[in-house]
Amino acid sequence: MPGLKLLDKGVTYDVGINFIPNTLSRPVWDDRIVRQELAAIRHDLHCNAVNIYGSNADRLIASARIALALGLHVWLQPRLIDGTAQETQAFVIEVARRADVLRQQWHELTLIVGGELSLTAAGIVPGEHLDARVMHIMRNAVPTLQDDLNALLHRLIIATRAVFKGRITYAAGSWEAVDWQLFDIVAVNLYRDERNRDTYRSAIRRLHAWGKPVAITEFGCCSYQGAERAGGLAHDVVDWETVPPTLMHEVVRDETGAGRGAAGPAPHL
């Protein structure tokens, strides 16, 4: 987009998500390894920002502290899978309160009060678990989705601003119609694929209509041939029901494909 400057560029960093109850996607935690990985993001990948997300408050705060000390702008996202509205709010507030202590020291910290909550949280889309909600929304209309989502976000933003005094946003799914007046930044997980390749640029332009900074909080694809055509769904080649997980069909590793997938208009703040 001519005339706009890319202020933050970075990657997402998973500290462990509870896709399976009482289990984190990152089972082993080692501060030394986290420091090495975040240093690589800063110095080897030449990022000036990192989007840290996960379901464990201690890990979120520890990794944020390391990243801030490395000079990274931290976008901190508490992400609780299958939590009720009350559980989600309690988790966000716990992280927000502790994050504000870091913000007072380093300033370069933006809080993301959740991501794609219509699916990750329980109660907005029918389905006991995340996978069931994803399948439901792919096959059925949910007329109350936008109203219920914005009601939850309204409660979250009021509660969060009471304990966190920095910039606050929300990582929306592309199907979510968020009332961005509530937030300091418009932020969307916007994956580029063969379906929206020709409209991706205009979709970003529409986000700027709110008159606020814009962030693309997730984009890209997997690193195998053809993955750029699937974008955010490219991970579907993995069968997660097997132990260990296996590929459903043979793929050819190709990191240049991931580069081509991201070679469209750059995400802007």
Q: What percent of the chain has pLDDT over 70?
A: 87
Per the document, the length of the chain is 269
Q: What percent of the chain has pLDDT over 90?
A: 69
Contacts of 125 (CB under 8 A, 6+ apart): 118, 119, 133, 136, 137, 142, 145
This prediction's pTM = 0.88
Reported confidence tier of residue 249, pLDDT bands at 50, 70, 90: confident
- Cα–Cα distance, 179 to 200 (Å, whole number): 21
Phi/psi region, residue 226 (left: phi>0; alpha: psi -120 to 50; beta: rest), is left
Count of alpha carbons within 13 angstroms of residue 112, beta-carbon side: 31
pLDDT at 229 over 60: yes
Coil vs helix vs strand at 25: coil
The pLDDT of residue 233 = 62
pLDDT at 165 over 50: yes
Average pLDDT over residues 159-168: 98
Strand partners of residue 10: 49
- Cα–Cα distance, 211 to 209 (Å, whole number): 5
pLDDT at 235 over 90: no
CATH architecture observed for domain 10-184 = Alpha-Beta Barrel (3.20)
Reported confidence tier of residue 1, pLDDT bands at 50, 70, 90: very low
Coil vs helix vs strand at 152: helix
Cα maximum dimension of the chain: 51
Q: Write the pLDDT tens digit of every residue in 166-216.
A: 999 999 999 999 999 999 999 999 887 767 677 788 888 999 999 999 999
